[in-house]
Structure 1
Amino acid sequence: MDYSVVDPDDLEYVADRPCDLRRLSEAAGMDRVAINRFDADPGEQRPLAYHYHETQEEAFVVCSGTLHVETPDGEFGVAAGSMFTAPPEAPHRAYNPADADEPASVVAIGAPPVDGDAVPDETDE
């Protein structure tokens, strides 16, 4: 069996992103799901602007702080200990607002793990 323990703080952050991004599934050798940790200070968004995924389901598990997610149905405030999900083709933008009191730490899970699946969506910005 190939078990693994991954400490996100031991991983290099992904450069050129608007918040601290660490790729957990890659470090664990997982290839059927994408798992990443994001730490966003007040005023920072997750790595992608308003977008949707063509085939990927996405879930954000909030570890600390409050994640805000903008959607065509309104804005969701997702508190620590809660999870937000977006099905394929559902536009969303996750961020930590500038007036937030603290950083937001989030574990993002996407399946299947695909590259080039995110499509910018400007219809409801």
Structure 2
Amino acid sequence: MEYSVVDPDDLERVDDRPCDLRRLGEAAGLDNVAINRFDAEPGEQLPLAYHVHETQEEAFLVLSGTLHVETPEGALVVTEGSMFAAQPESPHRAYNPEDADESVSVLAIGAPSVDDVAPYEPDA
């Protein structure tokens, strides 16, 4: 049996990201699910770009603040304590708008833990 206790504040920030990203699942040695904490100031987005996953399901649980998500079907507002979920092949871009009054903290969960992300062009 194996167990882990991970404090996100003990982890290094992931470089070259538009916000503060800490890879919790990786630190815990998890292979089948990706778990990340994102902290985004006003004007920052969580992923690197508007994107889509081929096979991964993805969920964002808002720990504090308000998350905004752009989709081809329109914009969504996800308040503290609520969760946004995207099924495979569902394009989305999560962000904290420039005019936001506070930062947003999000726990992101994706399964399976695969690198199947592709950029999405809304006008295409």
TM-score of the two chains, using structure 2 as the length reference: 0.97
How far has the Cα of 1:2 moved from its partner? Answer: 1.2
CA deviation map 1:31-50 (0-9, x unaligned):
11000000000000012211
Tell me if structure 2 keeps the 8 A contact 1:72–1:124.
no
Equivalent in the alignment of 1:46: 46
The code of the aligned residue for 2:96 comes to N
Q: Which amino acid aligns with 2:68?
A: H
Distance 1:24 1:91, change over 3 A: same
2:118 equivalent in structure 1: 119
**Secondary structure in structure 2 of the residue aligned to 1:26:** helix
Alignment of 1:10-29 (within 5 A): 10-29=10-29
Match in the other structure for 1:36: 36
Q: What is the TM-score with the length of structure 1 in the denominator?
A: 0.96
Task: For 1:47 and 1:85, locate their aligned partners in 2 and report how far apart those are by CA, in whole Å.
Answer: 14
In the TM superposition, what is the alpha-carbon distance from 1:124 to its structure 2 partner?
A: 4.3
Unpaired segments ≥5 residues, structure 2: none
- Give the secondary-structure state (helix, strand or coil) at the position aligned to 1:25: helix
Rounded to whole Å, the distance in 1 between the matches of 2:111 and 2:123 is 25
CA RMSD of aligned residues (A): 1.1
Q: Give percent identity, aligned residues only.
A: 76
**Number of residue pairs matched?**
124
4+ aligned runs moved over 2 Å, structure 1: none
> 2: CA distance between counterparts of 1:27 and 1:80?
25
Structure 2 matches for 1:50-61, cutoff 5 A?
50-61=50-61
**Structure 2 CA distance for partners of 1:64 and 1:124, relative to 1, 3 Å:** farther
Aligned-partner Cα distance in 2 for 1:78–1:90: 17
Where structure 1 has 5 or more consecutive residues not aligned to the other structure, the ranges are none
